[in-house]
């Protein structure tokens, strides 16, 4: 009896190690199957040119679509700045003061698909759309010669900002609500304004979470297709995803499309690496 107990006691640590290994290996395997393996296939395809391995597709992509790559980065960064400013300060105000109605209104875009947002913004921002009609009623513009905000960077930034602010707000408010309320009470006792509580308490204490949100939002902007397809096809600079769509469906050039896809992946990965390096330096 004592011998069997000794054997079971000796096996317990080994079973624990096996269980932990399985728990770790399952998500790692899923990442490899869903992300790494398709990426490696895309990278291998992007190197194919006339039955040989070459970086020609990357050279061609940078030469022909270099302006579109810069346009994609510009639109993504500008949209990210707008989203984070609104989400941080609106989230801070809602956490400090609390207003369920305003919080609910901010979160409505969470339940609206990107394609619906693109279509709605085309109607809202059209030359004779809802926005220009309202502005003309108060004399801010001439409805006979209205500005066109649909195509180009402005329309994309407005649409992406409106859609993704709700997602950023949800994550940032979760981080803000983990901050001890006693900090706010102490700050108010010393006469700190709402602005000061947000910038002096919430931002420093939730900086890591805000950085994670920024990386997620930036990556989503890089790979967005529905909004940029409906609002960014101006005949000038286009989003990378629009270029990939046209290359696949009209040029039938999968290696070139995969090259642009790899470039967009590297851009998103670069943002994540920069954030992780900053976090590691802070820990060090």
User: Is residue 131 over pLDDT 60?
Assistant: yes
Q: Output phi, psi for 49, to 5 deg.
A: -150, 110
Q: Which of 93-97, 118-122, 217-221 has the lowest mean pLDDT?
A: 118-122
* Tens-digit pLDDT profile for residues 192-246: 888 888 888 888 888 888 888 888 899 888 888 888 888 766 557 888 988 998 9
CA distances from residue 2 to 9, 10, 53, 136, 207 in whole angstroms, order as listed: 10, 12, 66, 90, 55
d(CA 18, CA 187): 50
Q: Give the model's pLDDT for residue 12.
A: 61
CA distances from residue 267 to 207, 216, 223 in whole angstroms, order as listed: 22, 12, 10
* Tens-digit pLDDT profile for residues 181-195: 888 888 888 888 888
d(CA 85, CA 92): 11
d(CA 166, CA 239): 23
Angle between helices 153-177 and 100-107 (to 10 degrees): 140
- CATH class of the domain comprising 56-283: mainly alpha
Domain regions of the chain by residue span: 1-46, 56-283
CB burial of 262-279 (b: ≥16 within 10 Å; e: otherwise) equals: bbbbebbeebeeebeeee
Q: Give the model's pLDDT for residue 60.
A: 92
d(CA 204, CA 16): 39
151: left (phi over 0), alpha (psi -120 to 50) or beta: beta
d(CA 188, CA 177): 17
Q: Give the model's pLDDT for residue 110.
A: 85
**Which of the four pLDDT bands, split at 50, 70 and 90, describes residue 7?**
very low
pTM, whole model, 2 decimals? 0.81
* Tens-digit pLDDT profile for residues 35-89: 778 888 888 988 988 888 889 999 999 999 998 999 999 999 999 999 999 999 9
Average pLDDT over residues 11-27: 71
- Residue 263: helix, strand or coil by DSSP? helix
Q: Which residue has the higher pLDDT, 82 or 6?
A: 82
Tokens of 131: 């926005």
């Amino acid at each position: 009896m004592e011998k069997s107990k000794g054997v079971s006691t000796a096996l317990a640590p080994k079973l624990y190690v096996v269980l932990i290994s399985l728990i770790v290996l399952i998500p790692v395997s899923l990442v490899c199957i869903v992300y790494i393996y398709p990426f490696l296939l895309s990278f291998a395809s992007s190197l194919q040119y006339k039955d040989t391995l070459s970086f020609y597709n990357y050279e061609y992509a940078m030469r022909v679509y270099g302006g579109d790559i810069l346009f994609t980065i510009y639109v993504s960064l500008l949209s990210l700045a707008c989203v984070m400013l609104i989400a941080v300060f609106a989230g801070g105000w809602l956490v400090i003061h609390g207003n369920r109605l305003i919080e609910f209104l901010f979160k409505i875009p969470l339940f609206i698909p990107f394609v619906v947002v693109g279509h709605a913004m085309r109607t809202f921002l059209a030359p004779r759309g809802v926005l220009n009609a309202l502005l003309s009623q108060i004399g801010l513009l001439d409805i006979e010669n209205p500005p066109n905000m649909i195509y180009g960077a402005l329309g994309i930034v407005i649409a992406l900002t409106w859609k993704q602010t709700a997602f950023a707000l949800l994550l940032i408010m979760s981080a803000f609500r983990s901050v001890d309320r006693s900090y706010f009470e102490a700050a108010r006792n010393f006469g700190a304004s709402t602005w000061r509580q947000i910038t002096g308490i919430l931002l420093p204490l939730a900086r890591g979470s805000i950085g994670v949100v920024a990386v997620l939002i930036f990556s989503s902007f890089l790979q967005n297709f529905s909004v940029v397809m409906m609002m960014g096809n101006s005949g000038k600079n286009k989003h990378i995803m629009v270029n990939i769509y046209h290359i696949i469906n009209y040029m039938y050039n999968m290696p070139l499309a995969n090259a642009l896809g790899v470039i967009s992946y590297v851009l998103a990965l670069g943002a994540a690496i920069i954030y992780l390096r900053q976090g590691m330096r802070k820990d060090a």
